[in-house]
Amino acid sequence: MIRFAEFLLSYSLRVAILGLPLYSCSKATDTDVVVAPKGSTIVIAPAVEPKIASTMGFFLDNWQAKSFVAPSFTEVSIPTTAANTVTIDVSDIITKIPNQIFGHNANTWMGTFVDQASFMTDITNLKPNVIRWPAGSGSNGYFWNTNPVQDPNNKSRQTPPVQYMKDWGIPDKYMDKDGKLFDAWFGYGQTTDNWRASLSNYYDMLQKSNNKGVITVNYSFARYGMSKNPVATAAHLAADWVRYDKGRTEYWEIGNENYGDWEAGYRIDVSKNQDGQPEFLTGGLYAKHFKVFADSMRKAAAEVGAKIKIGAVTQESQTQSWQTNTTKTWNSTMIPELNNKADYYVVHNYITPYDQNSTASVIMNGALTIPAQMMNFVSNEITNNGAELKPIAFSEWNMWAKDSKQQVSNISGLFAVAVQGEAIKNKYGLAARWDLLNGWDGGNDHGLFSDGGSADDPRWNPRPSFYYMYYFQKCLGDRMVSSVMGGPQTTMTSYASTYSSGQMNVTVINPSPNPQTIEVKTKNFNIGNRFYWYSLTGSNDNGEFSRKVLINGSGPKGAAGGPSEYATIKAMSASTANGIKVTVPAWGSVFVMIDKK
């Protein structure tokens, strides 16, 4: 038998030869590491930084290391036993975490918003890092450099100035998917109305809240425009925006969901078109136009010394028999024609079954499965059509679930954490929730903030999703690492991370109606003396879909939302001497941070 001194010497030599670090610790928590006799040295397997995934690419260029700062805390007792476990291997790095994964969407009908003090405080605290503009489908009728004028023939309608409609070929009618003409709608970058935002409001909001933009340019104008060369006219409009932007915005998208028959430009009045375009849009035609836009925009960026990336609209899931031929053939005709000229691909998904009154279980199952399915589908579509796999931006997400106030509920917050966690795990470069403020519609409201449409929920009051996303990002490190759930409650999900300063974090989601106890076990980690956590859950109103969120027991003063003092609530904390055990509340989540030795 080898003597311990000889063992230690030989092991130290092997460590030196292999370039492995030696760590001293008194608590062995990994059954897989080499363990020396009691009181001696153990070796923690070194973490190996994985290669940056092609689907993340340049979205990690501005990745930032995070250092853990222990929060103020209240000492609490922990469970004596735990039925479930989560085992975290800090040496098994999944990916660095992109700053852009926490993004949101703004829209033009939010009001001027930059002058709303509570909103500006909250959006600064939330720090989405990127905020998309000017809207979703609304971007396909948006003219960034125009102001509205009163339509002389319709006193309730505003249109672009007459000279723009004449010189640029802006129509006064769009054609719908059934071939019917209807009054065209527009968005205006230079509006001075108090009920909708201007482009300056948007830029001011970004600057004051320390966020960056994602801009979606009006592609559909290339289709419904009536000038002699509507593609060049629309591309020039986009390029002039790049010049005006002067490098403030790096990420640009050309169009929004243009494969869909709900978008302006899907079908056009060919009698008004002057460059021989077909009545119905195809992916291949979009790709040809995309290259014209991209050339003009890149030239403009070079003129002002800006660095930009340009994304192409991509159909995100397996098509169904009822969908249009445009949708069915979008990827197969677009991707080859693009010839790798897009910098990234853009996908959207509203995850839950369309137009259904979905249960909480259905909602959470979608959040935990659809992002992976979509990544697999889109990646295969790209490579199977002969293209290079490039970064993928999930720039619009939320749920279709409706009629039980699902969208404004505590479950929407739990759903949001799951979508963001799955977006990181499945290696998207960017993810952006739809949207910051919308319309009440009996609770079928995607807005992160209340629009005031419900009498018991004042305008700009944050909804539960705000608080879940705030704490998820606040407690998250800068690298996602592997975590495995164990025990009888297999529906729980975890997302683990490490800080560059050495500490670790785990977020555990409990998508069930019963609280669950868990114990955190670690591999390749030298546990410190203390751990901290925040616990978020709903209240007892509105069944599964509480409109409130309680943070460490503190809730809102009113009927909806969360505690106004969310940014200063003390963490709960305990010593690690008796293990790391916490209770995950029903339909809730815990955000745990563990110190290092």
Task: Please check the confidence at residue 346 and state whether its pLDDT lies above 60.
Answer: yes
Strands (E), 237-359: 251-254, 309-313, 344-349
For residue 468, how far is the Cα from the chain centroid? 13
Domain membership of residue 90 (yes or no) is yes
What's the one-letter identity of residue 589? S
Is 77 found in the same domain as 1?
A: no
Q: Region 40-62: what's the mean pLDDT? A: 88
- CA-to-CA distance for 272 and 265, rounded, in angstroms? 13
Task: Please check the confidence at residue 37 and state whether its pLDDT lies above 70.
Answer: no
Q: Which residue has the tokens 């040295």?
A: 41
User: Which range marks the domain in which residue 26 is found?
Assistant: 1-46
The structural domain count of the chain equals 3
Q: Give the tens place of pLDDT for each residue, 177-223.
A: 999 999 999 999 999 998 999 999 999 999 999 999 999 999 999 99
- CA-to-CA distance for 237 and 242, rounded, in angstroms? 9
Give the tokens for residue 257: 């969901």
Angle at 543 between CA 541 and CA 544, to 5 degrees: 115
Domain membership of residue 348 (yes or no) is no
Is 114 found in the same domain as 245?
A: yes
Task: Please check the confidence at residue 6 and state whether its pLDDT lies above 80.
Answer: no
3-state secondary structure of 580: strand
Domain membership of residue 473 (yes or no) is no
Task: Please check the confidence at residue 122 and state whether its pLDDT lies above 50.
Answer: yes
Distance linking the first and last C-alpha atoms of the chain: 33
Q: Please state whether beta strands 588-596 and 527-537 pair in parallel, antiparallel, or not at all (unpaired).
A: antiparallel
Is 277 found in the same domain as 159?
A: yes
Is 159 found in the same domain as 231?
A: yes
Domain membership of residue 327 (yes or no) is yes
Is 137 found in the same domain as 10?
A: no
Is 281 found in the same domain as 141?
A: yes
Give the tokens for residue 538: 């709903």
What's the one-letter identity of residue 297? M
Spatial contact of 257 and 263, defined as CB atoms under 8 Å apart: yes
What's the one-letter identity of residue 207? Q
Q: Region 391-396: what's the mean pLDDT? A: 98
Amino acid 27: pLDDT: 34
Q: Give the tens place of pLDDT for each residue, 500-516.
A: 999 999 999 999 999 99
Q: Region 393-417: what's the mean pLDDT? A: 98
Spatial contact of 561 and 461, defined as CB atoms under 8 Å apart: yes
Q: Please state whether beta strands 392-397 and 430-433 pair in parallel, antiparallel, or not at all (unpaired).
A: parallel
Instruction: Share the mean pLDDT of the chain.
Output: 93
- CA-to-CA distance for 288 and 363, rounded, in angstroms? 38
Is 84 found in the same domain as 3?
A: no
Domain membership of residue 429 (yes or no) is no
- CA-to-CA distance for 7 and 20, rounded, in angstroms? 16
Give the tokens for residue 279: 């009545």
Q: How far is CA 392 from CA 58, 253, 282, 316, in A?
A: 10, 12, 21, 11
What's the one-letter identity of residue 269? D
Q: Which residues of 269-286 are buried (b: 16+ CB within 10 A; e: fewer)?
A: eeeebeeebeebbbbbbb
Predicted confidence band of residue 154 (pLDDT cuts 50, 70, 90): confident
Is 138 found in the same domain as 27?
A: no
Give start and end residues of each alpha helix (H) in 426-575.
Answer: 464-475
Q: How far is CA 583 from CA 60, 473, 559, 586, in A?
A: 34, 21, 26, 9
3-state secondary structure of 149: strand
Q: Give the tens place of pLDDT for each residue, 421-451.
A: 999 999 999 999 999 999 999 999 999 999 9
Q: Region 586-593: what's the mean pLDDT? A: 98
Is 335 found in the same domain as 212?
A: yes
- CATH number of the domain to which 511 belongs: 2.60.40.1180
Q: How far is CA 278 from CA 65, 70, 143, 281, 323, in A?
A: 50, 61, 24, 7, 19
Domain membership of residue 333 (yes or no) is yes
Amino acid 42: pLDDT: 52
- CATH number of the domain to which 259 belongs: 3.20.20.80
Predicted confidence band of residue 29 (pLDDT cuts 50, 70, 90): very low
> Which among 318, 342, 366 is the end of a domain?
342
Domain membership of residue 532 (yes or no) is yes
Amino acid 295: pLDDT: 98
Q: How far is CA 352 from CA 364, 368, 435, 537, in A?
A: 9, 11, 16, 21
What's the one-letter identity of residue 250? E
Is 142 found in the same domain as 30?
A: no
Is 321 found in the same domain as 274?
A: yes
Is 220 found in the same domain as 146?
A: yes
Q: Give the tens place of pLDDT for each residue, 54-75.
A: 999 999 999 999 999 999 999 9
Task: Please check the confidence at residue 11 and state whether its pLDDT lies above 90.
Answer: no
Q: Give the tens place of pLDDT for each residue, 527-586.
A: 999 999 999 999 999 999 999 999 999 999 999 999 999 999 999 999 999 999 999 999
Q: How far is CA 102 from CA 211, 315, 356, 394, 435, in A?
A: 11, 22, 27, 11, 12
The residues facing 130 across adjacent strands are 212
Q: Give the tens place of pLDDT for each residue, 71-118.
A: 999 999 999 999 999 999 999 999 999 999 999 999 999 999 999 999
Task: Please check the confidence at residue 486 and state whether its pLDDT lies above 80.
Answer: yes
Domain membership of residue 455 (yes or no) is no
In degrees and rounded to multiples of 5, residue 9 shows phi and psi of -65, -45
Amino acid 5: pLDDT: 37
> Which among 285, 307, 342 is the end of a domain?
342
Q: At what angle do helices 410-425 and 464-475 cross, to 10 degrees?
A: 40
